[in-house]
């Protein structure tokens, strides 16, 4: 089911929550909305579900306008952050609830409940109650309850935020598997960049009721359009710079760390004030022929498979680097040379 969102606006009192949001979500796509609390992503999700009505704009499912269509007629499944299971019902009864509302009964209801529980790997637990389940199991039941109605659209509102790190990783894998099997058009709201980068077919980053950038995760991560987008997708070392030369073939930025060759970027001219950025994982330690700067190792943190380094640059800047744990780390206080490849540098207007 293709979703078309065109110029949606929504205010609560004097507070404008959505400000002309437009998105196209393809049929069978796993699409993520990423942004901080209060940016409007949950409000947008609830408009799709039919719980809120927009003040202006259009929402279409498969070309059909959703104006005035109540939630129970949209064939939308929704999974909430807090599981929202009925405590007095068994697992099977919780999953069957949506079918009963739709008039599905008897053998068909039983068959579809067992099918949905099998999809989320909860076979054999239909007779348990929610208080007999772990957090991860409860979220699987909530997902089965959304899937059992065979929705055209699946909406996930930060479904993993209440789980610990191990369960989040496990459920991420399950969501990827389930989407691969069902191919339901899915909109997933989160503030967790790792979830978005690891799961999304495409994603949109939201800020203050607007869409800042849309694209495939790798593209948005590697070529953010603003510092906000870059910082939403992970830590970045930033330094103020100025464009020294700019042609179709090359771009040179001068900063307190030195002169850096960067991949050409349209729209930048000599003298333009920019931010020069590098992800910690892009900072390399050791001999370099270009884009190098002197620094001193100030701090080391062991991350298991990697080491996090804090480098004190000659100009007083603090630079973070992530290096493989097997690469060997010099003693704290050692003078080093660090560098960043041109393709790994971010250049954004300031």
Confidence check: pLDDT of 320 > 70 = yes
Place of tokens 């348990």: 128
Instruction: State how far the Cα of 45 lies from the Cα of 237, in Å rounded to an integer.
Output: 33
> Which residue, among 228, 217, 164, has the nearest Cα to 194 in the 3D structure?
217
Instruction: State how far the Cα of 72 lies from the Cα of 69, in Å rounded to an integer.
Output: 8
pLDDT band at 166 (very low <50, low <70, confident <90, very high): confident
Instruction: State how far the Cα of 263 lies from the Cα of 344, in Å rounded to an integer.
Output: 9
Query: Residue 316 has what pLDDT?
Result: 84
Query: Residue 82 has what pLDDT?
Result: 83
Instruction: State how far the Cα of 56 lies from the Cα of 223, in Å rounded to an integer.
Output: 32
Last residue of some domain: 195, 230, 265? 230
Residue 238 φ then ψ, to 5° = -120, 145
List Cα–Cα distances, 329 to 302, 308, 332, 333, in angstroms.
10, 10, 9, 11
219 and 314 assigned to the same domain: no
197 and 339 assigned to the same domain: no
Give the residue with greater pLDDT, 212 vs 166: 212
Query: What is the mean pLDDT of the segment spanning 271-292?
Result: 92
253 and 292 assigned to the same domain: yes
122 and 139 assigned to the same domain: yes
Confidence check: pLDDT of 22 > 70 = yes
pLDDT band at 327 (very low <50, low <70, confident <90, very high): low
252 and 293 assigned to the same domain: yes
Last residue of some domain: 212, 230, 248? 230
pLDDT tens-digit readout, 50-78: 999 999 999 999 999 998 899 989 999 99
Helices (H), ranges, 183-243: 193-199, 217-222, 227-232
Instruction: State how far the Cα of 99 lies from the Cα of 113, in Å rounded to an integer.
Output: 9
Confidence check: pLDDT of 35 > 70 = yes
pLDDT tens-digit readout, 230-242: 999 999 999 999 9
pLDDT band at 161 (very low <50, low <70, confident <90, very high): confident
Q: How many CA atoms lie within 13 A of 7 on its CB side?
A: 3
Kindly report the CATH number assigned to the domain that includes residue 66.
3.40.50.300
Number of domains in the chain: 2
68 and 202 assigned to the same domain: yes
DSSP state of 327: G
251 and 188 assigned to the same domain: no
Query: Residue 70 has what pLDDT?
Result: 93
246 and 183 assigned to the same domain: no
180 and 275 assigned to the same domain: no
242 and 221 assigned to the same domain: no
105 and 40 assigned to the same domain: yes
Query: What is the mean pLDDT of the segment spanning 300-310?
Result: 92
Query: What is the mean pLDDT of the segment spanning 197-221?
Result: 96
Last residue of some domain: 197, 230, 263? 230
Query: What is the mean pLDDT of the segment spanning 119-125?
Result: 90
Kindly report the CATH number assigned to the domain that includes residue 277.
2.40.50.140
Query: Residue 288 has what pLDDT?
Result: 74
Confidence check: pLDDT of 328 > 80 = no
How many other C-beta atoms are found inside a 10 Å radius of the C-beta of residue 32?
26
179 and 292 assigned to the same domain: no
The kind and range of the H/E element at 344 are: none
| Predicted TM-score (pTM) of this structure | 0.91
pLDDT over 70, % of the chain: 99
The range of the structural domain enclosing residue 306 comes to 235-349
pLDDT band at 325 (very low <50, low <70, confident <90, very high): confident
Give 211's strand partners.
206
């Amino acid at each position: 089911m293709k979703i078309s969102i065109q110029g949606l606006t929504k205010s609560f009192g004097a507070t404008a929550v959505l400000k002309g949001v437009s998105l196209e979500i393809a049929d069978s796509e796993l699409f993520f909305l990423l942004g901080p609390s209060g940016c409007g992503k949950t409000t947008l999700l609830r408009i799709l579900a039919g719980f809120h009505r927009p003040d202006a704009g259009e929402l279409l499912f498969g070309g059909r306008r959703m104006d005035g269509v109540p939630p129970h007629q949209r064939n939308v499944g929704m999974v909430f952050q807090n599981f929202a299971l009925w405590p007095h019902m068994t697992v099977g009864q919780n999953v069957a609830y949506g079918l009963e509302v739709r008039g599905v009964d008897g053998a068909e209801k039983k068959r579809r409940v067992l099918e949905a529980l099998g999809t989320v790997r909860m076979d054999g637990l239909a007779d348990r109650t929610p208080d007999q389940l772990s957090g991860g199991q409860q979220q699987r039941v909530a997902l089965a309850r959304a899937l059992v109605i065979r929705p055209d659209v699946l909406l996930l509102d930060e479904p993993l935020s209440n789980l610990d790190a191990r369960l989040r990783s496990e459920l991420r894998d399950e969501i990827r598997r389930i989407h691969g099997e069902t191919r339901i058009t899915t909109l997933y709201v989160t503030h967790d960049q790792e979830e978005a980068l690891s799961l999304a077919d495409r994603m949109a980053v939201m800020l203050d009721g607007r869409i800042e950038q849309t694209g495939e995760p790798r593209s948005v991560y590697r070529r953010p359009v603003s510092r906000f987008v870059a910082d939403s997708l992970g830590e970045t070392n930033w330094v103020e710079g100025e464009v020294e030369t700019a042609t179709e073939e090359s771009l040179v930025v001068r900063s307190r760390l030195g002169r850096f060759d960067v991949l050409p970027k349209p729209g930048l001219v000599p003298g333009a004030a920019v931010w020069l950025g590098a992800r910690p994982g892009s900072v390399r330690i050791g001999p370099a022929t270009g884009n190098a700067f002197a620094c001193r190792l100030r701090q080391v943190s062991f991350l298991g498979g990697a080491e996090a380094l804090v480098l004190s640059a000659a100009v007083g800047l603090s630079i973070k680097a992530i290096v493989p744990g097997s690469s060997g780390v010099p003693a704290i206080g050692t003078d080093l040379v660090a560098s960043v490849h041109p393709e790994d540098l971010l250049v954004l207007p300031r």
